[in-house]
A and B are shown apart, each in its own frame.
Chain A
Amino acid sequence: MTIKEVQDNIIEEFSLFDDWMDKYNLLIDLGKDLPVIDPKYKVKDFLIEGCQSKVWLHPVYDGKLISFTADSDAIITRGIVALLIKVMTNRSPDEIIATDLYFIDKIGLRQNLSPTRSNGLLSMVRQMKLYAMAFNAKNK
C-alpha cells in the first residue's frame, strides 16, 4: 500500500465513529497494541520530549527502507504514535521526506499535533523526516 492508501484506510476506520469517546477508545486500543520498542532504545538519545508526554523513536535503515519502533508514556499519545508508524514505517527515505500527513487532520486529531500541544508528536514527525534526510545523505 502507498502512504496515501494507508492514510485513507485510517480515515475510513475512524469515520465509523461519531462520538469522541469511541474515537479515543480506538486510539487507546491502538496504543495498547503498539509493538513495544526494545527497552535499550528507551534512552535519552531516542527521546523526543514534550512538556505533556514523552515519545521514544528508533529508526532502522536497511539501505532501502526505514522502519520505526516507538513508545510513549501516555496511552493516547501511544495510539497516535501507532498510527504514525503504520503510515511511515518500511518506506524509502524519499517517500518519508515527501509525505504529506493529512490523516491526523481528517480524523479530528489535529489538536494533538498543534505546535503548542507539546506532546512530542509534532517533533516526532519532524524527527522521522530528519532521520530520512540523514539516511539519504549517507547514501549519496
Chain B
Amino acid sequence: MKEIDEIRADFPILSRKVYGKPLVYFDNGATTQKPNCVLDAVDEVYKSYNGNIHRGVHFLSDMSSEAYENAREKVRSFINADKREEVVFTSGTTGSINGIAFSFGERYIKAGDEIILSRLEHHANIVPWQMMCERRGAVLLVIPINDNGEVMLDEYYKLLSSRTRLVSVTQASNALGTVLPLKEIITAAHSINVPVLIDGAQGIQHGIVDLKEMDCDFYVFSGHKIYGPAGIGVLYGKEKWLSEMPPFQGGGDMVDKVTFEKTTYNELPFKFEAGTMNYPAAIGLASALDYVSSIGRENIATREKELLIYATGRLSTIKGLIIYGNSEKKISTISFHIKDIHQYDTGMILDKMGIAVRTGTHCAQPVMDRFGIDGTVRASLCFYNTKEEIDTLADGIEKVKSMFA
C-alpha cells in the first residue's frame, strides 16, 4: 500500500488550512474529498471531448458516449454485477431509491402489501417508501435495533410474511456506523421470494462489494461518497426486475419510438436514463473507482479498521463522552455526545480549530429517537485520515469541554 503521505498528496484539499489551522477532515460520511486523477478526468472531458452522449453523429459526441459507457462497464466490474444492462446511472443514492420506489411500486405493489426497512435507515431510504406506500396503500414495517445500535434479526424474521414485497436496508448506518448482517437479511428474504434493496451509500467506499456474492436484487450508491464527483449515482438492479419495471422519468434517450398515441421504451439501461445524464461525473466516478482499486480495497478496509480502533480507544478515555453505536462490526464512523454540551456548540468550536465533523441528527431522526437524544457529533474517517488527526480531535474535544464547563 502507498505510504500515507503519498496518499494524502493525491488529495489537494487535504493540505489546505481552515481558520489558519491545518484541515482535519472527518466528515467523509457526508462527502469524501477528490484525488487529482478524478479532478483531471472531469477537467479533461470539458477541455478536450465534451459532447452530449448518445445523440450526435459527430466526433466529440462519440468520444463522450464511449467514455460514458466505459464508465458503466467500470462500475459493473467494480461491484461485480452480471451485466452492464443492470447498471443505471442516476443523480445519487437518493435519486436511485426514489426511482426504484416509484417504479417498483407501480409494477408490484397493491393495498395491504408490506415493505420492510430497518430503524437505522437514512431518510433517503425511508421517505421514498412512505410516499410510495401512501400512493399504493401499502404498509411500512421497521426492524428494531438494540442498545448497541444493531438490527435485531429475530424481530426481522418475525416481520417477514406472505405480505412482504420488498426489504430495503442500508449496508452501514450513516449515523452510528453499524454494519448490517446483509447475508442473513438477504437469505431470509429470498427464502420467501422477496427481493432486497441494499443502500450502499455508506458501504461501498469501505471495502469489497461483490454483488454476485451478496446476491441482492438492487444496490444503490453515490459517486461523491467514494471519492468521485457529486451529482452521479448508481442504481443496480437485477435484469429480471428492471426489465419488468416501468421508467420513473420520461424524456429523451429513454425512448424507442414516440408518437402522440403511444411511446415505446428503449432497452436497458437506457430506459431509466431520461434526459442528458451527468456524463462528466460518471467519467469522474470511473476514475475514482480506478483510484480506489489502485490503493486496494482490502488495504482500505484494514487501514480504516485501525483508525476506528484507535479513535474509539482515544475518545473513550475522554470523561463525559458517550459513543452511540457499539456494534462489533462498524465502518470508521464514530457518533458521540459530550455530557451537558450541545452537539452544535461542540461542532462550532471544533470547526474553529480546523476540524470538520457533522452535528445533528444526520438525516436519521428515528435512530436519534431510539436513543432519546436530539443529535450527536459524528466523526466519519476514511483511509486518508491519520492517528495524529484523531489526537487533534481528542485534544479539541478537551478544549471544548473546558470552554463550556
Residues of A that sit less than 8 Å from B by CB: 20-21, 24-25, 28, 51-53, 73-77, 119
Contact B19 A20 (CB under 8 A): yes
Q: Select which of B19, B345, B361, B375 is within 8 A of A76 by beta carbon.
A: B345
B349: which A residues are within 8 A, CB to CB? 21, 24, 76
Known contacts A24-B403, A51-B360, A51-B361; is A77 also within 8 Å of B352 by CB? no
Docked-complex contact A75 and B352, CB < 8 angstroms: no
Residues in A whose Cβ lies below 8 Å from that of B343:
52
List chain A residues, Cβ under 8 A from B344. 52-53, 74, 76-77, 119
Residues of B within 8 A of A52 (CB): 343-344, 347, 359-360, 375
What's the nearest-Cβ distance from chain B to residue A21, in Å? 6
User: How far apart sit A74 and B337, CA to CA, in the bound complex (Å)?
Assistant: 13
> Is there a chain A Cβ closer than 8 Å to B260's Cβ?
no
The 3 A-B residue pairs whose C-beta atoms are closest, nearest first, are A74-B342, A74-B344, A20-B352
A24 touches B352 (CB 8 A): yes
Q: Name which residue of chain B comes closest to A25, CB basis.
A: B403
Instruction: Closest A residue to B399 by CB, please name it.
Output: A21
Q: Chain A residues with Cβ under 8 A from B347's Cβ?
A: 52
The B321-376 residues at the A interface (CB cut-off 8 A) are 342-345, 347-349, 352, 359-361, 374-375
Q: A73: nearest residue on chain B (CB-CB)?
A: B342
A51: chain B residues within 8 A (beta carbon): 360-361
Q: Which residue of A lies closest to B19 (CB)?
A: A20
Q: List 20 A-B contacts (CB under 8 A).
A: A21-B349, A21-B352, A24-B348, A24-B352, A24-B403, A25-B403, A28-B403, A28-B404, A51-B361, A52-B343, A53-B342, A53-B344, A73-B374, A74-B342, A74-B344, A74-B345, A75-B342, A75-B345, A76-B344, A76-B348
Chain B residues near A (Cβ < 8 Å): 19, 342-345, 347-349, 352, 359-361, 374-375, 403-404
Asked if B404 and A75 sit within 8 Å, CB to CB, the answer is yes
- Rounded to whole angstroms, the CA-CA distance of A73 and B344 in the bound complex is 9
**Which residues of chain A have C-beta atoms less than 8 A from B348's C-beta?**
24, 76
Tell me the minimal C-beta distance from B326 to chain A in angstroms.
25
Cα A54 to Cα B349 in complex, Å, equals 18
Cα A21 to Cα B349 in complex, Å, equals 8
Nearest chain B residue, comparing its CB with the CB of A27: B348
Cα A73 to Cα B343 with chains together (Å): 10
CB-nearest residue of chain A to B347: A52
**A119 to B345 CA separation, bound complex (whole angstroms):** 11
Inside 8 A of B404's CB, which chain A residues have their CB?
A: 28, 75
State how many angstroms separate the Cβ of A115 from the closest Cβ of chain B: 16
Question: In the complex, what residue of chain B is closest to A119 when comparing beta carbons?
Answer: B344
Task: Please name all residues of chain B whose beta carbon is closer than 8 Å to the beta carbon of A25 when the two chains form the complex.
Answer: 403
Q: Shortest distance in angstroms between A55's beta carbon and chain B's nearest beta carbon? A: 11
Task: Give Cα A119–Cα B359 distance, bound, in whole angstroms.
Answer: 11
* Closest partner residue, chain A, to B20 (CB atom): A20
Further contacts, 17 of them, CB under 8 A, given A51-B360, A51-B361, A76-B349: A21-B349, A21-B352, A21-B403, A24-B349, A24-B352, A28-B403, A52-B344, A52-B359, A52-B375, A73-B342, A73-B374, A74-B342, A75-B342, A76-B344, A76-B345, A76-B348, A119-B344
In this complex, what residue of B is CB-closest to A118?
A: B360
A28 to B349, CA, bound (A): 11
Q: Which of B19, B344, B375, B404 is packed against the most chain A CB atoms within 10 Å?
A: B344
| Residues in B neighbouring A24, C-beta threshold 8 A | 348-349, 352, 403
Query: In the complex, A25 Cα to B344 Cα: how many Å?
Result: 15
A74 to B341, CA, bound (A): 8
Residues from chain A with a CB closer than 8 A to the CB of B352 are 20-21, 24
Q: How far is the CB of A113 from chain B (nearest CB, A)?
A: 13
Separation of A56 and B24 alpha carbons in the complex (Å): 34
A21 to B359, CA, bound (A): 19
How many angstroms from the CA of A25 to the CA of B342 in the assembled complex? 15
Residue of A nearest to B361 (CB): A51
Q: For A28, what are the chain B residues with a Cβ–Cβ distance below 8 Å? A: 403-404
Give the Cβ gap from A137 to chain B, nearest Cβ, in Å. Answer: 34
Q: Which residues of A contact B361 (CB under 8 A)?
A: 51
Residues of chain B within 8 A of A73, CB atoms compared: 342, 374
Q: Which residues of A contact B374 (CB under 8 A)?
A: 73
Instruction: Report the nearest A residue to B348, measured CB to CB.
Output: A76
Chain A residue, CB-CB nearest to B352 = A20
**CB-CB < 8 A to A77: which residues of B?**
344-345
